[in-house]
């Protein structure tokens, strides 16, 4: 993966970069990745997410038939796109060594030009509601084993080092490992956390990446970014605002939340390009906005496409005009958020 900065905004952490994966494919950032729903495709689409949830039963099924599993993932690849295959380890404990080895080779076979290190549940690192050094060591060893195992057979794909949004005591050794492996592409997994609510940890991760892999030549994507609780009828779209904090590609939210009220009907939260907010909509208003039945998948599809269109517009503005005045026109963005974005821009 070759990354080259084209233009940089002077006040916010948003840059236009050229990212080339091969001699035949390249795209420019910032952008929004798309997790395809049905057969729909979009002309602005450059990054395609393929997410596979890995539970405790998955390795057992792979032992008897991995071909179908890999083929199903590869069938979701899109031409002329960066296809990111993501394994979401939705388990509470590190799998056995044999199962990690099996998952590693299945992930490699199911990846195209990049190899995204798996994401995990934050709970895998917790002990009595606190980050555990013992459990983090197990996680660290797993990530190192996956990379070593992949390289032992021969690796022709670009590693993308996944970094959970956690305290600096734990994120630093993981980023150091990636740097020792020559990794120059990173995926920040926010695990539903609001980036601005965890500003110090987010800034530290960016700074540590920049210390050995300058951001102007580094690819950074972010997944599972959260947003604040709803106040009355709308909430600021903090997930989308992370594009103005050195994130090249904003990914989707693919992890499952576990709440006592999880069985309730999901609220109709629709992204507004004009305000940079999520609006709580009535069924009638949602139906009007999405131009059809406002099912969960229809709203999800609408939101990611609207964010894709807006990121494409922002990309055309970088280097041509100042981005800060443009963001300030969005009524959902308050001055505190602007100051935080400026602090992040100046911290790296």
Angle formed by the axes of helices 67-74 and 97-109, to 10°?
40
**What average pLDDT is seen over the chain?**
92
Least confident range of 18-32, 162-176, 259-273: 259-273
What pLDDT is attached to residue 258? 57
d(CA 118, CA 122): 13
- Whether the pLDDT of residue 81 is over 70: the answer is yes
What pLDDT is attached to residue 129? 87
Positive or negative CA dihedral for 310, 315, 319, 324?
Answer: positive
What's 339's domain CATH number?
Answer: 3.20.20
d(CA 203, CA 258): 28
What pLDDT is attached to residue 197? 81
Number of domains in the chain: 1
Q: Can you give the residue range of the structural domain that contains 241?
A: 2-347
Give the mean pLDDT of 106-115. 97
What pLDDT is attached to residue 260? 45
- Whether the pLDDT of residue 329 is over 90: the answer is yes
- Whether the pLDDT of residue 307 is over 50: the answer is yes
What pLDDT is attached to residue 296? 86
User: For residues 214-241, b (16+ Cβ closer than 10 Å) or e, as one string?
Assistant: ebeebbbbbbbbbbeeeeeebbbbbbbb
What pLDDT is attached to residue 232? 66
Residue 52, CA atoms < 13 Å, CB-side half-sphere? 25
Residue written as tokens 């590190």? 94
- Whether the pLDDT of residue 231 is over 60: the answer is no
Please check whether residue 55 is in contact with residue 91, taking contact to mean a CB–CB distance below 8 angstroms.
Answer: yes
Give the mean pLDDT of 177-205. 93
Residue written as tokens 């305290």? 167
Percent of the chain with pLDDT over 90: 80
What pLDDT is attached to residue 261? 44
pLDDT digits (tens, 9 = 90+) for 43-79: 678 999 999 999 999 999 999 999 999 999 999 999 8
- Whether the pLDDT of residue 264 is over 70: the answer is no
d(CA 26, CA 46): 9
- Whether the pLDDT of residue 302 is over 90: the answer is yes
d(CA 300, CA 290): 10
């Amino acid at each position: 993966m070759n990354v080259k900065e084209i233009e940089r905004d002077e006040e916010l952490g948003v840059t236009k970069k050229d990212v080339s994966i091969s001699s035949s494919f390249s795209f420019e950032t910032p952008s929004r990745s798309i997790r395809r729903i049905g057969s729909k495709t979009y002309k602005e689409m450059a990054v395609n997410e393929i997410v596979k949830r890995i539970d405790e039963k998955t390795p057992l099924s792979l032992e008897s038939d991995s071909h179908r599993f890999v083929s199903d993932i590869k069938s979701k690849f899109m031409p002329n796109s960066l296809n990111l295959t993501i394994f979401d380890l939705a388990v509470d404990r590190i799998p056995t060594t044999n199962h990690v080895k099996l998952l590693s080779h299945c992930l490699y076979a199911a990846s195209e030009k990049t190899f995204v290190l798996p994401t995990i549940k934050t709970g895998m690192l917790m002990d009595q509601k606190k980050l555990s050094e013992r459990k983090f060591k197990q996680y660290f060893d797993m990530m190192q084993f996956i990379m070593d195992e992949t390289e032992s057979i021969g690796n022709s794909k670009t590693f993308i080092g996944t970094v959970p949004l956690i305290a600096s005591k734990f994120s630093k050794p993981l980023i150091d490992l990636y740097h020792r492996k020559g990794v120059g592409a990173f995926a920040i997994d926010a695990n539903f956390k609001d980036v601005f609510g965890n500003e110090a940890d987010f800034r530290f991760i960016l700074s540590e990446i920049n210390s050995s892999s300058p951001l102007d030549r580094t690819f950074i994507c972010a997944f599972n970014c959260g947003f604040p609780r709803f106040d009355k009828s709308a909430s600021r779209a903090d997930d989308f605002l992370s594009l103005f904090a050195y994130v090249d590609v904003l990914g989707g939210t693919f992890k499952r939340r576990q709440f006592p009220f999880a069985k309730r009907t999901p609220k109709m939260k629709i992204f507004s390009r004009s305000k940079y907010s999520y609006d709580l909509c009535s069924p009638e208003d949602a139906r009007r906005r999405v131009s059809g039945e406002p099912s969960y998948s229809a709203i999800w599809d609408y939101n990611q496409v609207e964010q894709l269109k807006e990121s494409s517009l922002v990309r055309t503005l970088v280097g041509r005009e100042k981005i800060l005045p443009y963001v300030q026109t969005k009524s959902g963005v308050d001055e505190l958020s602007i100051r935080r974005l400026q602090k992040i821009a100046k911290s790296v």
